[in-house]
Amino acid sequence: MNTVPEPNTASTVVSWIDLGKMAYQSALLVQEQQAAALLSSDVDEQVVFTVEHPPTITIGKNGTRDHIVASDEELSRLGFEVFNVDRGGDVTYHGPGQLVVYPVLHLNPWKNDVSRYVRMLEEVVLLALQEVDVEGRRLEGYPGVWVGDAKICAIGARVKRRNTGEFVTSHGLAFNVTTDLNHFQTIIPCGIVDKGVTSVRELTSDPVSYVDWQQRILHSFAEVFEVSLAEKR
Burial class (CB in 10 A: 0-12, 13-18, 19+), 171: buried
Kindly name the residue from 124, 125, 128, 190 that is annotated as catalytic: 190
Assess whether 153 carries a catalytic annotation. no
Residue 84 vs residues 3, 5, 65: alpha-carbon distances, Å: 34, 34, 9
Other CB atoms within 10 Å distance of the CB of residue 137: 12
Sign of torsion, CA 43 47 53 57?
positive
155 beta partners: 173
Q: Does 165 appear as a known binding residue?
A: no
Q: Is there a binding annotation on residue 174?
A: yes
173 labelled as ligand-binding?
A: yes
User: Annotation-wise, does 187 bind a ligand?
Assistant: no
Gap between the terminal Cα atoms of the chain: 13
198 is in an annotated binding site: no
Give the C-alpha separation, 78 to 56, whole Å: 10
- Four-point Cα dihedral 90, 94, 98, 104, nearest 10: 70
- Does 93 appear as a known binding residue? yes
156 is in an annotated binding site: yes
Residues in the chain: 233
Q: Is 37 annotated as a binding residue?
A: no
Find out whether 95 and 78 touch, Cβ atoms under 8 Å: no
Residue 159: what residue type?
A: V
The Cα–Cα gap between 208 and 82 comes to: 28
- 154 marked as part of a ligand binding site: yes
Q: Is 217 annotated as a binding residue?
A: no
Q: Is 87 annotated as a binding residue?
A: yes
Instruction: Show binding-site residues for substrate.
Output: 87-94, 154-156, 172-174
Instruction: Show binding-site residues.
Output: 87-94, 154-156, 172-174
Active centre residues (catalytic): 190
